């Protein structure tokens, strides 16, 4: 188009917008704080991650797990309209009894249209991906694997408490995601579904009978420096529309370097049980590394999963993107 043609179009737009002041006018919305997305504070999310890591590894049947769970409940109570705690004893692949808690916070509890945001809060009892076999039997810090998703969600929860979104939102911290059969026992003790025990329990026993949400978003390993979130296979199969909604919001905000516009592999993760058990189309935002045979980054399930690896730019990219998606949702 040349300048002569563009100018009348711009003029027409200006004239149209002048003659249409009031409800529905996009210019009026710019001055209305309640119609805008709040800013995600990455310093705050980082501090929530550090706080969890400072308890020590959050492995069921330890004091650290107990104390961190108490802390998460008290934080969510500050920020959510309603908090539910599901207490249950789950059976690990090796017969161990695991005292566990799923921690749930609700916003706009009476709204029919709901969005579910979730992450796991426990950490892996073993560093079974360590190259040195002598290092494989002790638990990990789980700064990214565990704490990052919860840290981002606590900051999102804090933002909800300052300015409520239109839609109903539920946040769940699932327990016992990472108690799956370790590599060094796979040959002798293989058990299917040894992962995601907390979400499996919740899918069969939701905190509200018949619980439904329009869609779900899982945050798993969302804090590492230079993270890459590919479009996970199960997410694409059951919730492609939600993947596109989140990935395009990220692109529009300038976070396309984290949210890669390409397919990744399939990951058995908490979203699988939310999809199968409750029929809620759900996606997994998870850091992939295609260079590794297991598909995850080098630090995954090793003693390198520490705070050193956590980057505020990644936290901001994930947190701001999801806030943008949530605040664009209208209530039904
Ligand atoms: C499996 O390793 C089977 N799934 C990866 C899910 C996971 C573990 N996410 C964090 N830790
Ligand atoms: Zn893990």
Mean pLDDT in residue range 216-234: 98
2-327 carries CATH number 3.40.50.2300: no
Which residue minimizes the CA distance to atom 2 of ligand 1?
268
Q: Which atom of ligand 1 is nearest to the CA of 294?
A: 2
Confidence at 190, pLDDT banded by 50, 70, 90: confident
Instruction: Indicate whether residue 267 lines ligand 1 (CB < 6 A).
Output: yes
**What is the structure's pLDDT at 36?**
86
Distances (CA, A) of 55 to 51, 78, 236, 306: 7, 20, 36, 13
Domain boundaries, the chain: 2-327
Question: Model-level pTM?
Answer: 0.90
Mean pLDDT in residue range 245-270: 97
**What is the structure's pLDDT at 329?**
96
**What is the structure's pLDDT at 15?**
39
Q: Which residues pair with 107 in a beta bridge?
A: 169
Q: Write out the two tokens for 45.
A: 């999310």
Ligand number nearest CA of 120 is 1
Ligand 1 centroid – CA 17 distance (Å): 52
Interatomic CA distance for residues 292 and 279, integer angstroms = 32
Which residue minimizes the CA distance to atom 7 of ligand 1?
269
Instruction: Indicate whether residue 268 lines ligand 1 (CB < 6 A).
Output: yes
Q: Which atom of ligand 1 is nearest to the CA of 196?
A: 6
Give 332 or 28, the one with higher predicted confidence.
332
Instruction: Indicate whether residue 269 lines ligand 1 (CB < 6 A).
Output: yes
**What is the structure's pLDDT at 322?**
98
Instruction: Indicate whether residue 170 lines ligand 1 (CB < 6 A).
Output: no
Confidence at 191, pLDDT banded by 50, 70, 90: confident
Of 60, 50, 48, 152, residue with least CA distance to 97: 60
């Amino acid at each position: 188009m040349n300048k002569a043609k563009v100018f009348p179009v711009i003029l027409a737009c200006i004239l149209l917008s002048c003659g249409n002041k009031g409800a529905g006018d996009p210019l009026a919305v710019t001055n209305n704080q309640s119609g805008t997305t709040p800013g995600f504070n990455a310093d705050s999310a980082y501090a929530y991650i550090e706080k969890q890591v400072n308890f020590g590894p959050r492995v069921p049947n330890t004091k650290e797990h107990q104390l961190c769970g108490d802390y998460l409940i008290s934080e969510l109570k500050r920020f959510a309209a309603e908090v539910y705690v599901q207490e249950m004893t789950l059976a690990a692949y090796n017969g161990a009894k695991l005292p566990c808690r799923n921690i749930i916070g609700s916003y706009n509890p009476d709204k029919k249209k709901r969005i579910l945001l979730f992450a796991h809060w426990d950490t892996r009892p073993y560093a079974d991906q360590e190259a040195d076999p002598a290092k494989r039997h002790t638990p990990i810090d789980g700064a990214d694997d565990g704490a990052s998703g919860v840290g981002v969600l606590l900051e999102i929860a804090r933002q909800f408490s300052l300015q409520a979104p239109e839609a109903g939102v539920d946040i769940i911290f699932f327990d016992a995601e990472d108690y799956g059969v370790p590599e060094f026992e796979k040959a002798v003790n293989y058990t299917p579904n040894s992962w995601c025990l907390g979400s499996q329990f919740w899918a069969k026993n939701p905190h509200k009978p018949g619980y439904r949400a329009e869609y779900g978003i899982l945050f798993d390993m969302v804090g590492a420096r230079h993270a890459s979130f590919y479009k996970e296979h199960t997410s694409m199969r059951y919730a492609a529309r939600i993947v596109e909604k989140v990935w395009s919001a990220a692109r529009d905000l300038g976070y396309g370097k984290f949210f890669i516009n390409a397919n990744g592999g399939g990951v058995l993760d908490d979203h699988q049980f939310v999809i199968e058990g409750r029929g809620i189309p759900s996606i997994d935002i998870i850091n992939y590394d295609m260079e590794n045979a297991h598909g995850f980054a080098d630090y995954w399930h090793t003693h390198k999963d520490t705070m050193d690896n956590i980057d505020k730019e990644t936290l901001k990219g994930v947190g701001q993107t999801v806030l943008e998606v949530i605040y664009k949702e209208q209530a039904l």
